[in-house]
Structure 1
Amino acid sequence: MMRTSRWVVIAALLTSYFFLTNEQDAYAMHIMEGFLPAKWALFWWGLFLPFFLVGLRRLVRTLKEHPEQKLLMALAGAFTFVLSALKIPSVTGSSSHPTGIGFGAALFGPWVMVVIGTLVLLFQALLLAHGGLTTLGANALSMAVVGPLVAFSVYQLHRRGLVSHRVALFLAACLSDLATYVTTSVQLAVAFPAPDGGVLASFLKFAGIFAITQVPLAVTEGILTVMVWNWLASYQASPLFEREKGA
């Protein structure tokens, strides 16, 4: 059974890579370069930066106290990069994608993933033209701040004994994905309110567009996150995983 699960995980990651390399012309859900008005781009940058600075301090402290976690952090970053770079066509010429944030948030907490998620978005903007530099503050706030905070909060359901570990991990990955897209919809709505109905009508339009593809993607991401965690737990002797065995 474990061997089968491992091959399923590998196949899923290879499928992600296939879409990544064959959908270069699609529009990514990351808000594209120059799309936001300057005042809103600056606003989201200002809101995002304090979270990033706190996350950077936590990351440095974590690496000093636990240098052995560098490889796991690199793995969490790679997982986030691959999943969030996967683009699946949505409607009206847009696309949806997973975020991959829940896995790292469950491992290291939300603050470390603020930095990792931001670096992922920066590399995607520079190397893949997903998102942009002026809109990095908005994109990082939604995926690298709101996403990890939601994932970690939901994951605490297991710590409190309310649900099993697998259920908590699934919900953390799934709901952090959806929270990212809700936040992005809010960002677009306040920047581009509808002539009739204002911000609320615009939010419902943006959220409705991406819900069609994002809901099944979020569920799939939750399942894949649990599978990857279980696979690593079978081979990883780290205390991070040992405490979860038997849950």
Structure 2
Amino acid sequence: MHIMEGYLPPLHAAAWTAVAVPFVIAGGITLAKTLRERPETRLPLAAAGAFAFVLSALKIPSVTGSSSHPTGTGLGALMFGPSVMAVLGTVVLLFQALLLAHGGITTLGANVFSMAVVGPWVAWAVWRLARGAGASLPVGVFLAAMLGNFATYCMTSVQLALAFPDPASGFGGALAKFLSVFALTQVPLAVVEGLLTVLMVTFMTRYSRADLGRLKGAA
């Protein structure tokens, strides 16, 4: 998902940054309120950020200028809400760009919007729908993490198709091309991320049940 440094045209990079910034600001306000009202969440917040950092650093080369990997943002979205993950995801992506040369600074806004905004919001929506439909905790977590991951890559495909439309078929043709290439690696990775997130939730259920209060209390 990480679009590499300098790959997007400057206008596109600036536009995606402008789109992502309001979500990060709103997430910062929510995060500050959460820490003020529930200071005990510092450790699980750090754990959610670390989970996203480790999983999203496991990249596989894919479309030129990008890569495939788990995102790890679904867990934090289910525990603290998708807004908070906009901040945690931005921190994760910034550190990866600076320390691992994974992604970039000019493409940070585009990467934040796909991995730290779209992915967590889709994961949260799927979680609420699954639980509302009576799905068990593991099934709801699996579907949320898997589809949140896949939504991230759909968004990255849109970003790349907008920046590099096909000469013959335009945006639609480019989107189909990017989606089909990403799917080869991303579908299995999305399934793996869903399973890993279920394992993480199972572990926390056994050893840190209090941290799952918000997740388990969702509709």
TM-score by length of 2: 0.94
Aligned to 2:161: 189
Aligned to 1:137: 109
The answer as to whether partners of 2:57 and 2:96 remain within 8 angstroms in 1 is yes
**CA separation of 1:85/1:169 partners in 2, compared to 1, >3 Å: closer, same or farther?**
same
- Rg (Cα) greater in structure: 1
The answer as to whether partners of 2:93 and 2:108 remain within 8 angstroms in 1 is yes
Aligned to 1:117: 89
Q: State the Cα distance separating 1:241 from its structure 2 match.
A: 4.3
Q: What letter is aligned with 1:74?
A: A
The answer as to whether partners of 2:122 and 2:151 remain within 8 angstroms in 1 is yes
CA distance in 2, matches of 1:121, 1:65: 27
Q: Does 1:78 align with 2:50?
A: yes
The answer as to whether partners of 1:146 and 1:180 remain within 8 angstroms in 2 is yes
Q: Does 1:157 align with 2:137?
A: no
Q: Secondary structure at the match of 1:238?
A: helix
CA distance in 1, matches of 2:127, 2:113: 20
Aligned to 1:67: 39
**CA separation of 1:35/1:94 partners in 2, compared to 1, >3 Å: closer, same or farther?**
closer
Q: State the Cα distance separating 1:153 from its structure 2 match.
A: 0.5
Aligned residues: 217
The answer as to whether partners of 2:16 and 2:109 remain within 8 angstroms in 1 is yes
CA distance in 2, matches of 1:225, 1:80: 10
Structure 1: 5+ residue stretches without partners:
1-28
CA distance in 2, matches of 1:92, 1:117: 23
For 1:17-28, list aligned pairs within 5 A: none
The answer as to whether partners of 1:233 and 1:241 remain within 8 angstroms in 2 is no
Q: State the Cα distance separating 1:170 from its structure 2 match.
A: 0.3
Q: Does 1:175 align with 2:156?
A: no
Q: State the Cα distance separating 1:166 from its structure 2 match.
A: 1.0
Aligned to 2:7: 35
Q: Does 1:105 align with 2:77?
A: yes
CA distance in 2, matches of 1:213, 1:50: 31
In the TM superposition, what whole-angstrom CA distance separates every residue of 1:201-227 from its partner, at most 9, and x where no partner exists? 001111111100100000011011001
**CA separation of 1:91/1:33 partners in 2, compared to 1, >3 Å: closer, same or farther?**
closer
**CA separation of 1:62/1:35 partners in 2, compared to 1, >3 Å: closer, same or farther?**
same
Q: What letter is aligned with 1:48?
A: A
The answer as to whether partners of 2:77 and 2:85 remain within 8 angstroms in 1 is yes
**CA separation of 1:92/1:47 partners in 2, compared to 1, >3 Å: closer, same or farther?**
closer
Q: What letter is aligned with 2:115?
A: M
The answer as to whether partners of 1:233 and 1:242 remain within 8 angstroms in 2 is no
| Identity between Structure 1 and Structure 2 (%) | 58
CA distance in 1, matches of 2:133, 2:211: 19
Q: State the Cα distance separating 1:164 from its structure 2 match.
A: 1.3
In the TM superposition, what whole-angstrom CA distance separates every residue of 1:9-56 from its partner, at most 9, and x where no partner exists? xxxxxxxxxxxxxxxxxxxx3111111111101110111111111000
Aligned to 1:16: none
Which of 184, 204, 214 matches 1:212?
184
The answer as to whether partners of 1:154 and 1:172 remain within 8 angstroms in 2 is yes
Which of 48, 56, 59 matches 1:87?
59
Q: What letter is aligned with 1:216?
A: P
TM-score by length of 1: 0.84
The answer as to whether partners of 1:170 and 1:226 remain within 8 angstroms in 2 is yes
In the TM superposition, what whole-angstrom CA distance separates every residue of 1:50-81 from its partner, at most 9, and x where no partner exists? 11110000000000000000000000000000
Q: State the Cα distance separating 1:243 from its structure 2 match.
A: 7.3
Q: Secondary structure at the match of 1:35?
A: coil
The answer as to whether partners of 1:96 and 1:214 remain within 8 angstroms in 2 is yes
The answer as to whether partners of 2:63 and 2:178 remain within 8 angstroms in 1 is no
